[in-house]
């Protein structure tokens, strides 16, 4: 676990992992395999993280926060017949680097703004009014398992010869070209001081879009029994009591600030959910039907490989699909009402607000979360109307929240009001051998840590103007990209 609170490459990975051991502060250069030793997924994943960290750091050091060769990601305001676009533009094929991460627009033709593979436009993303818009890149890593391997209609992750079991998963670079109404001009973003220009760009995003990472922090521990100060006499209640090693994931569901405990502020407060399996327990959806009686019926491909990785009545689930993940959605969680195990059919209490999960082409999944409500006076969770637990901040020793089997978490107050963002997450490895969790700090004083992910990288591309008629103009002088040529030139 990194000293800066980040783990690995900081994507949204929800795989069945033991833990993530990459820590850039240790300056490891490689992982060395030894003969006759047990091989762990963490060793393999740390090796790839070490290499990626080196490559991204090298590229960012040489190129800066963003830059690219040629006309990659050039914004075009006219089509191939030289006709102006109306309320949209095109993105040229090519390469561009953001935060040292390579973004590839591999299409043979320019990609239209409203036809991006990884970005479904919502109303707020459309060029709906006359004025100036800042066009920018949002880059991050997405986790893809064999159930989501759909790119180019050519699945390759699952080996059919295994007849069911999956193996390794993949990470995929997601780039999304977005727009933001702005008063900035090219002189604000392209001067002789690139560092200052980039900070102005980030400040504009932070003010207008609030895309900065969440500022909330978390700390975790195995439960400490009250009045237990003798290190030689440990209470059986003062430890992790699970039967197996687990990788707990605590993830922000609804964005917002901490709950102040008042009924009237529940709907605007941040909520969180947790999973003992790093949110890797998911079920492919064959069909989803919303009923007029306020229930949802879901037909699944299977109910999991065994009881530990299955569903039971009362479980909280999240319906997700490709658009939902790429848009960082936070629909209400639904609760399992009944299960027809003969037909792999599940009836859920409640319905979603949108059409998430209804399109089979979007690879819908039903993801299980493991939180439950309890008595707040003894550290139990308060479940809100969105199905997730209300987040409140505490700093005293009795203000810990119970997950299960002795695992406790706490959101400590910050010097300034903390902002919790949907998708922010923390990983907590729990180990049977020690009866404890792996967390920075001591048993008595676990340290507060910022979210482990998701890390986003941003870069300005262009400033475009939209006329009242809807015609879009991308003046060559308003190009915000930082371009470079090959060394041989």
Over the stretch 471-480, which tens digit does the pLDDT of each residue have?
999 999 999 9
- Separation CA 297–CA 317 (nearest Å): 13
Q: Do residues 358 and 460 share a domain?
A: no
| Interval 397-405 mean pLDDT | 92
Does 472 map to a domain?
A: yes
Both 142 and 260 in one domain: the answer is: no
**Are 225 and 334 within one domain?**
yes
Considering the domain architecture, whether residues 307 and 397 belong to the same structural domain is answered as yes
When the pLDDT of each residue in the chain is averaged and rounded to a whole number, the result is 89
Tens digits of per-residue pLDDT, 168-190?
Answer: 888 999 999 999 999 989 998 98
Token pair, residue 152, equals: 């180019």
For position 23, what pLDDT does the model report?
85
Residues 337-358 have a mean pLDDT of 93
- The 10s digit of each residue's pLDDT in 11-50 is 778 888 888 888 888 999 999 999 999 989 999 999 999 9
CA angle 340, 345, 346 (to 5 degrees): 90
| Predicted pLDDT at 225 | 60
Q: What pLDDT was estimated at residue 3?
A: 36
- 207 in a structural domain: yes
In a domain? residue 31? no
Answer yes or no: do 225 and 205 share one domain: no
The confidence score (pLDDT) of residue 416 equals: 84
User: Which residues, 6+ apart, have CB-to-CB distance to 94 below 8 Å?
Assistant: 68, 69, 70, 71, 72, 73, 74, 105
The pLDDT tens digits for 282-297 are: 999 999 999 888 999 9
pLDDT class of 153 with cuts at 50, 70, 90: low
Q: Are strands 483-484 and 66-69 parallel, antiparallel or unpaired?
A: parallel
First vs last C-alpha separation in the chain: 43
Q: Do 124 and 148 have their domain in common?
A: yes
What was the pLDDT predicted at 412? Answer: 95
Residue 446 lies in a domain: no
Tell me if 25 is assigned to some domain.
no
Q: Is residue 98 scored above 90 in pLDDT?
A: yes
Burial bucket for residue 120 (CB in 10 Å: 0-12, 13-18, 19+): middle
181 plus 238 within the same structural domain: no
Per-residue pLDDT band at 135 (split at 50, 70, 90): very high
Asked whether residue 247 falls in the same domain as residue 347, the answer is yes
Same domain flag for 120 and 175: yes
Q: Is the pLDDT of residue 227 over 70?
A: no
Tokens standing for residue 487: 């060394």
Q: Which of 125-129, 221-225, 455-459 has the highest mean pLDDT?
A: 455-459
Does the structure show a pLDDT above 60 at 421? yes
162-166, 229-233, 429-433, 443-447 — most confident range: 429-433
Which range has highest mean pLDDT (212-216, 291-295, 339-343)?
Answer: 339-343
From 6-15, 306-315, 428-437, the region with the lowest mean pLDDT: 6-15
Residue 135 belongs to what domain range?
A: 64-213+456-484
Number of domains in the chain: 2
Cβ(407)–Cβ(435) under 8 Å?
Answer: no
pLDDT of 65 strictly over 60: yes
Whether residues 226 and 209 fall in one domain: no
Q: Say whether pLDDT at 154 is over 70.
A: no
Q: Is the pLDDT of residue 1 over 50?
A: no
- Is residue 453 very low, low, confident or very high in pLDDT (cuts 50, 70, 90)? confident
Q: How far apart are CA 93 and CA 88, in angstroms?
A: 16
Q: Are strands 457-466 and 436-437 parallel, antiparallel or unpaired?
A: unpaired
Give domain status of residue 139, yes or no. yes
pLDDT of residue 2: 36
Asked whether residue 450 is domain-assigned, the answer is no
Give residue 166's pLDDT band: very low, low, confident or very high (50, 70, 90): confident
> Cα 431 vs. chain centroid, distance in angstroms?
25
449 belongs to a structural domain? no
Q: How far is CA 446 from CA 228, 335, 356, 400, 410, in A?
A: 17, 33, 39, 12, 10
Are both 401 and 273 inside the same structural domain? yes
184, 230: one domain: no
Question: Does the pLDDT at position 305 exceed 80?
Answer: yes
């Amino acid at each position: 676990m990194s000293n800066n609170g980040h783990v690995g490459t900081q994507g949204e990975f929800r795989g069945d992992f033991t833990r993530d051991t990459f820590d850039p502060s240790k300056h490891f250069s490689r992982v060395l395999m030894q003969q006759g030793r047990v091989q762990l997924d963490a060793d393999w994943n740390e090796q790839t993280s070490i290499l990626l960290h080196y490559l991204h750091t090298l590229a960012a050091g040489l190129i800066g926060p963003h830059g690219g060769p040629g006309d990659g990601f050039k914004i075009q305001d006219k089509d191939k017949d030289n006709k102006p676009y109306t309320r949209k533009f095109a993105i040229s094929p090519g390469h561009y680097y953001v935060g040292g991460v390579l973004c590839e627009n591999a299409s043979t033709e320019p990609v239209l703004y409203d036809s991006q593979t990884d970005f479904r436009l919502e109303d707020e993303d459309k060029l709906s009014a006359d004025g100036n818009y800042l066009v920018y890149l949002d880059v991050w890593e997405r986790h893809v398992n064999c159930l989501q391997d759909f790119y180019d209609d050519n699945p390759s992750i699952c080996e059919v010869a295994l007849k069911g079991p999956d193996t390794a998963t993949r990470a995929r670079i997601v780039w999304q070209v977005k727009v933001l109404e702005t008063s900035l001009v090219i002189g604000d973003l392209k001067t002789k001081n690139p560092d200052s220009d980039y900070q102005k760009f980030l400040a504009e995003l932070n003010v207008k879009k609030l895309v900065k990472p969440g500022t909330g922090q978390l700390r975790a521990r195995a439960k400490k029994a009250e009045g237990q100060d003798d290190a030689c006499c440990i209470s059986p209640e003062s430890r992790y009591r699970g039967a197996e090693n687990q990788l707990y994931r605590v993830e922000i569901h609804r964005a917002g600030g901490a709950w102040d405990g008042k009924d009237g502020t529940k709907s605007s407060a941040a909520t969180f959910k947790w999973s003992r399996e790093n949110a890797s327990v998911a079920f492919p959806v064959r069909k989803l039907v919303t009923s007029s009686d306020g229930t949802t019926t879901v037909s699944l491909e299977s109910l999991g490989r065994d009881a530990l990785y299955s569903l039971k009545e009362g479980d909280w689930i999240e319906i997700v699909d490709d658009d939902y993940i790429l848009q960082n959605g936070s629909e209400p969680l639904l609760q399992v009402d009944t299960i027809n195990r003969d037909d792999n059919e599940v009836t859920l209490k409640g319905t979603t607000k949108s059409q998430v999960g209804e399109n089979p082409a979007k690879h819908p999944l039903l993801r299980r979360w493991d939180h439950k409500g309890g008595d707040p006076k003894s550290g139990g969770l308060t479940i809100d109307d969105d199905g997730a637990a209300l987040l409140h901040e505490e700093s005293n020793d009795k203000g810990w929240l119970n997950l299960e089997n002795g695992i406790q978490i706490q959101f400590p107050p910050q010097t300034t009001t903390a902002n919790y963002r949907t998708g922010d997450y923390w990983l907590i490895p729990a180990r049977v051998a020690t009866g404890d969790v792996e967390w920075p700090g001591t048993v008595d004083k676990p340290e507060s840590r910022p979210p482990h992910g998701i890390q986003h990288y941003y870069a300005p591309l262009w400033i475009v103007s939209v006329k009242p008629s809807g015609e879009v103009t991308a003046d060559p002088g308003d190009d915000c990209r930082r371009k470079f040529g090959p060394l041989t030139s």
